[in-house]
Structure 1
Amino acid sequence: MSTGHVEYASLNGTHFFKIIGEVRAQSCISLDKLLGKIEQQSTNMVSAVVDLTQTTFIDSTVLGILAKLGIKLKQKHAIQSVMLSTNPDITTLANSMGLGQVFAILTCNEETRVCTKVLPDDDLTQKAMLTTVLDAHKTLCQLNRSNKNVFEPLVKQLEKEQDALKCSH
């Protein structure tokens, strides 16, 4: 289980996402839904900041969802999103997954202080979880060949599971 959480704040078109503690796939369904809502309603999108200054662990699903955020903002709004990190291991992980292609990754010396609200844990249905994990890993595969080589077998397996779920309903 995840021992961390995601927080969010927005002001005048700037969206601020704070990843706190050890955050895994279970904690990011609400983040993925929030990104969908932001994408639908944001005509005044100015910037996005992903704060990893208090992140102790982040899994590939969360990184994939963040990659999707960076890609969409770059493509639809011509916005260069910013990622803040104080932990060299987290910075190295983000860069190795190709997030440096869609984020300006800045190394900070201290944690940021922004008033954010905790995103609630959403319904953890098997279908919602599967869709979120699959979409996140497909996004990572798009970033670079290394990710594609690493995650393609997982993507294929998740697609089979998704097909099986569709057939059973």
Structure 2
Amino acid sequence: MSTGRVLMANKAGAYVIKLTGDVRMTLCTTLDNCLKKMVEDPVFTSVIVDLTEAEGIDSTSLGMLAKVSRLATPAMGHVPTLISSRPDITRIIETMGFRDRVFVIVPHSNVDEEPDASLNEETPQPVDEMSARDRVLEAHKILMSLNEQNRQTFHELVECLENQPTH
């Protein structure tokens, strides 16, 4: 698998976040920075998440995607679109409870929906141990809030992280 990357485009407040390669926890700080830029943009109107070139995605990254939706939905007035053309990735996303509640999942891009802007690779942000712990914890708490199956799946991980010393 190739190293994961975060690419982003913005045209007049319409954003595209594209994740490529092996999307892992190490990209969460970078993804969180993109999210912050997006929601702080006074002309933010929409976001599309594109996973068509993702080769794999871990649960922390899925939790961060749920966070994207959680913050963008109120501003947009509806859930954002997620493009996933790989059956294995789509199955994982659906298993987590994303379909219709978190994202409208489509298999390919609707050219009319995407901003006409070029994607730029976001500079990977370093992840220190405390930041990584905090992001993993936040992401899994978000996943747990989506459905009972996720709550059961991630309960022990969250409990373990919460009980770790913070220094």
- Give the TM-score taking structure 1 as reference length: 0.87
Structure having the higher helix fraction is: 1
For the aligned residue pairs, the C-alpha RMSD in angstroms reads 2.2
Q: Do structure 1's residue 121 and structure 2's residue 120 form an aligned pair?
A: no
Q: CA deviation at 1:55?
A: 0.7
4+ long deviations beyond 4 Å: none
Partner of 2:24 in structure 1?
A: 24
The one-letter amino acid paired with 2:120 is K
Q: Is the 8 A contact 2:10 2:117 kept in 1?
A: no
Q: Is the 8 A contact 1:47 1:79 kept in 2?
A: no
Identity among equivalent pairs (%): 34
Q: CA deviation at 1:76?
A: 4.3
Q: Is the 8 A contact 1:61 1:133 kept in 2?
A: yes
Q: Do structure 1's residue 10 and structure 2's residue 13 form an aligned pair?
A: no
Q: Is the 8 A contact 2:81 2:104 kept in 1?
A: yes
Q: How does 1:17-166 map to 2 (within 5 A)?
A: 17-39=17-39, 41-100=40-99, 101-108=101-108, 115-161=118-164, 164-165=165-166
Distance 1:104 1:118 in 2: 24
- Give the TM-score taking structure 2 as reference length: 0.88
- What is the aligned length? 162
Q: Is the 8 A contact 1:46 1:79 kept in 2?
A: no
For structure 1, the 5+ residue unaligned runs are none
Q: Is the 8 A contact 2:4 2:22 kept in 1?
A: yes
